[in-house]
Structure 1
Amino acid sequence: MTTMTDASVREFKMPDVGEGLTEAEILKWYVKPGDTVTDGQVVCEVETAKAAVELPIPYDGVVRDLHFAEGTTVDVGTPIIAVAVAGRGAAPVAEPAPAPAAEQPQEPEPQGRQPVLVGYGVAASSTKRRPRKGPEIPVQEASAAVQSELNGHGTTAVRSRPLAKPPVRKLAKDLGVDLASVVPSGPDGVITREDVHAAAAAPAPALAPVVAPAPVAPQAPVVTYDTARETRVPIKGVRKATATAMVGSAFTAPHVTEFVTVDVTRTLKLVEELKQDKEMQGLRINPLLLIAKALLVAIKRHPDVNASWDEAAQEIVLKHYVNLGIAAATPRGLIVPNIKDAQTKTLPQLAQSLGELVSTAREGRTSPADMQGGTVTITNVGVFGVDTGTPILNPGEAAILAVGAIKLQPWVHKGKVKPRQVTTLALSFDHRLVDGELGSKVLADVAAILEQPKRLITWA
């Protein structure tokens, strides 16, 4: 069929902005029909199961149509915006009959530039299935199985005579094997003695049980809710992905949690000193920075805690790098971006990375790449005034450290009860990878550094 189509209109499809994502929700449109757009201009913001991402358009032209409203969840590969591209005229376009996805040609990319941020969306594969090679099977033989079935009038249809030599026929008769049911392996479809023996050794096919029609289930009653007394929020996006990941982690990895209460008075004094240091000016200096550094030092002393469990390969993967995750609560839910190769960073560099990570997360601009590949995580529940908790492992990681609120408490110091700044740390770990001894050593090292921060100099 041939129809008249405006060849100047380009359809921009919802791309896969992460790894293997299948859908995204359109949060906000930055353009409307009639607006002029340029290559690389951000046209909308979408939320995937991992983060909110801005999508740039890869065309120059005028917006013709927005196919979906804000708040709509769209499958990856679905056109979301139509743009009338300048410099192209209208022309009749042949509309081919629908074909399998594997036989549809892939849309060519624009020449002379690279795709921006997330490319041009999902394109159909251009791969075609090769025709099978081999001798053709005569129609008479190929239809033998069909001819052996009952016809529509309840009588047995005529079937062709199987090809076999007289000794083979006698063997089949002696063994009680119907040659029509034997799969031939000889040349030109001839049944061999081995085929007959194989058919005789095969178990008899089980008769299909007669299944009575299932009773018609009564129609489910329509459930109504009092919208004045309750609000229902759809589970989607980051919150849905987080819930799925946490359930999978909790019921896959055997969790163990250990606790330690520690005097961090000297750590807080060091924080104040670092704020006055010229090299740390303009950086975010807080207890979390030193806690992160203490955990990195503990991992350096006990590298086996920085590992993952590969169920498919049945292997323990020891990581020689630390991608340090920091759990961040955002309006869209909990996300865990990570600092890549945190073990290589100096204290000022770590402070800068932490500041950028927190700011980006609060603004909802964390990219999917920043949340992939984490190896160990810190969650700071103390900012909510909570003493501590039993954190659930981030999927694919062996340990997570929870930091509780730092409070002034009575504490025995140098033989006397004095008011000291005290906090409680909780380390959860995957007991398949980390036994009690290793987990205890890691947690004890973190506590020792926070109690005596000078250990950072000697242990780092």
Structure 2
Amino acid sequence: MLKIFNLPDLGEGLTESELLTWKVSVGDPVKVNDVLAEVETAKAVVELSSPFDGTIAELHGESGTVVQVGAPIVSFDLPGDEPGESPHPGPDAGSGALPDGRVPTLVGYGAAAEGAGRPARRTRVGRPATPHPAPSGPPAGSPVAAATGAAAPATSTLTAERPRSTPPVRRLAKDLGIDLSEVQGTGSGGVVTREDVQQAAEGAGPASGAGVEAAQDPGVRTLGGRPRIQEEPIRSVRKATAAAMTASAFTAPHVTEFLTVDVTESMELLEDLKRHRDFRELKLTPLTLVARAACLALERTPELNARWDGDHGRIVRQNYVNLGIAAATPRGLMVPNIADAQALDLRGLAGRLAELTRVAREGGLQPGHLSGGTFTLTNVGVFGVDAGTPIINPGEAGILALGQVRRTPWEYRGEIALRQVMTLSLSFDHRLVDGEQGSRFLADVGAVLSRPGMALALF
């Protein structure tokens, strides 16, 4: 019996996932909870497990395909029934049948399956909606057709089936001016692939604009020796990051302030701590000290740790700090957070920062690491940058960027000396934070970094 497994909601109402790699092939036997594939959501890479014991009958999609939640992803042949039997319970099905003919998924029941074999394909806009496919009838010219007067169905563009392809491939075809109905698909089941579209575009020859640009002298050196034009799909993390940053930039009125600080004493403190027996195994960096200073400063300016709830007409004050750390990972920009950072001392913060960094680099961040942040730090200094205007993480009131530490001529005790200097950049939501509060927070962080001993006097 054929069973269709629909992509489940993998957490927090996500609507789609990108298929990264298949772990099975057609014909493979599988058991319940065997890993079928790795899929990437906007928040994490997740292993998709089998809900059935059976044999893989069909894989609905190739690596790189974006699959909507509730859409078919795998078909199984299950033991116990004759091949070709309908996967849907009939009207006389017993109480054990699934409601509405839906097939089980790992989370809920997913979307209703529309056919016993392959899933029904989406039709063009304007195609008449019919609850069931019309019977095909006998072939035109056959004795049966002649006897019954049946005519062969007419073909029109309105009722023609759209060529099977993925959204990124359709987007590429649109950009290149390629009509997918004229492209022969070479993918599984006749799916039109990116390579099919690119070959169709090359065969058509250059027209104007980008096409003319791409057809120029192939001997001209390009950047890095790469092709003149390269395209890649907008993947889950990049898509989510773009949506979040756009929403933040055009919803929260951003204000950015800067403060340049002499951090020589802080850098000397770090060197002393690295030699101390309690810190030898830990990685101590300027980010560790800024994290501790920010938690202390939020004690005096809780407005920077609040949340704007416009839907309910209120400001939510959070008396704890889930400290987000903006991180460049193999999957793109992500902001995992340290829960209850306000309760950690410098040693505890150093340990949690090291653990988060390791998990992020290994690509092991899970949705729980990425939700619930209240304030964010971003370290642009590791890239040799002095300052910037960071965009606030959605749902938060502020973000603090720390620039590189550089040796700079600086006034020190009435004379000019080479000192280690850092620029701090604070962006805050002006709905929640007034200029006075933002300035006071920035000054408090700077005071701790310029003279670490001030933490004992101020907090």
Under a length normalisation based on structure 2, what TM-score does the superposition of the two structures give? 0.69
Residue equivalent to 1:49: 42
Quickly say closer, same or farther: Cα 1:320–1:90, change in 2 above 3 A. Answer: same
**Separation of aligned partners in 2, 1:357 and 1:220:** 40
- Provide the rounded CA distance (Å) in 2 between the counterparts of 1:60 and 1:277: 57
Residue equivalent to 1:229: 228
Q: How does 1:21-420 map to 2 (within 5 A)?
A: 21-83=14-76, 88-90=79-81, 92-93=85-86, 95=88, 104=100, 119-120=106-107, 122-123=109-110, 222=177, 225-226=210-211, 228-420=227-419
Contact 1:14 1:121 in 2 (8 A): no
Cα distance, 1:418 vs structure 2:
1.2
**1:177 match:** none
Provide the rounded CA distance (Å) in 2 between the counterparts of 1:251 and 1:239. Answer: 18
Give deviations 1:73-93, integer Å, cap 9, x for gaps. Answer: 1001223224456xx412555
CA contact (8 A) 2:402 2:423 kept: yes
Counterpart Cα distance in 2 of 1:70 and 1:272: 48
- Which residue does the alignment assign to 2:428? 429
SS at match of 1:450: helix
More displaced stretch, 327-336 vs 226-235 = 226-235
CA distance in 2 between counterparts of 1:266 and 1:94 reads: 72
1:305 aligned counterpart, secondary structure: helix
Paired positions, count: 346
Counterpart of 2:160 in structure 1 is none
SS in 2 for 1:288: helix
1:53·1:365 contact (CA, 8 Å) conserved in 2?
no
Alignment deviations for residues 138-185 of structure 1 (CA, whole Å, 9 cap, x no partner): xxxxxxxxxxxxxxxxxxxxxxxxxxxxxxxxxxxxxxxxxxxxxxxx
Q: CA deviation at 1:301?
A: 2.1
Tell me, yes or no, if the aligned pair for 2:69 and 2:110 is still in contact at 8 Å: no
- Kindly state the Cα deviation for residue 292 of structure 1 after the two structures are TM-superposed: 0.6
Determine the C-alpha separation between the residues in 2 that align with 1:59 and 1:107.
11
From the superposition, tell whether residues 61 and 103 of structure 1 become closer, same or farther in structure 2 (CA, over 3 Å).
closer
Cα distance in structure 1, aligned partners of 2:253 and 2:317: 18
Aligned to 1:452: 451
Unaligned stretches of 5+ in structure 1? 1-5, 110-118, 126-218
Q: Which stretch has the larger CA shift, 287-296 or 274-283?
A: 274-283
Q: Which residue of 2 aligns with 1:142?
A: none
Report if aligned partners of 1:13, 1:120 keep a CA contact under 8 Å in 2.
Answer: no
Distance 1:276 1:345 in 2: 21
Structure 2 vs 1, CA of residues 243 and 438 (structure 1 numbering), >3 Å: closer, same or farther? same
Which one-letter code corresponds to 1:377 in the other structure? T
Partners of 1:23 and 1:52 in 2: CA distance? 12
The alpha-carbon distance between structure 1 residues 41 and 343, as it changes in their structure 2 partners (threshold 3 A), is farther
CA distance in 2, matches of 1:337, 1:302: 23
Q: Residues of 1 paired with 2:16 and 2:408: CA distance?
A: 50
CA distance in 2, matches of 1:93, 1:221: 41
Deviation at 1:230, TM superposition (A): 1.6
CA distances 1:324-379 after superposition (whole Å, capped 9, x unpaired): 11111124321111112211223222222211211222222211221111111111
Distance of aligned partners of 1:31 and 1:277 in 2 relative to their CA distance in 1, 3 Å threshold: farther
Task: Please state how far the C-alpha of 1:270 moved relative to its aligned partner.
Answer: 1.7
Distance 2:391 2:446 in 1: 20
- Equivalent residue of 2:385, what SS? coil
Using the TM superposition, name which of 71-80 and 426-435 deviates more: 71-80
Report Cα offsets for 1:357-410 as digits up to 9, x if no partner. 112222222112211111111111111111110001111110000111110111
CA deviation after TM superposition for structure 1 residue 241, in Å: 1.3
Which sits farther off after the overlay, 260-269 or 26-35? 26-35
Secondary structure, aligned partner of 2:365? coil
- Share of identical aligned residues, percent? 51
Structure 1 position 423, deviation (Å):
0.6
Residue 286 of structure 1: CA displacement? Answer: 1.1
Q: What is the DSSP-based 3-state SS (H/G/I as helix, E as strand, rest coil) of the residue aligned with 1:280?
A: coil
SS of 1:409's partner is strand
- Name the amino acid aligned to 1:248: A
Which residue of structure 2 aligns with residue 202 of structure 1?
none
CA contact (8 A) 2:374 2:397 kept: yes
Amino acid at match of 1:346: D
Give the drift of 1:40: 3.9
TM-score (norm 1): 0.69
Letter in 2 for 1:231: Q
Give the deviation of 1:67 after TM superposition: 2.0
- 1:450 to partner: Cα distance: 0.7
Consecutive unaligned residues of structure 2, counting only runs of 5 or more, are: 92-97, 113-173, 178-206, 215-226
Question: What CA distance in whole angstroms lies between the structure 1 residues aligned with 2:370 and 2:46?
Answer: 13
Identify the range of structure 1 (401-410 vs 45-54) with the bigger mean alpha-carbon deviation: 45-54
The aligned residue for residue 196 of structure 2 is none
Give the distance between the partners of 1:221 and 1:372, measured in 2 at CA: 39
Could you say if the C-alpha distance between residues 103 and 236 of structure 1 is closer, same or farther in structure 2, counting changes exceeding 3 Å?
A: same
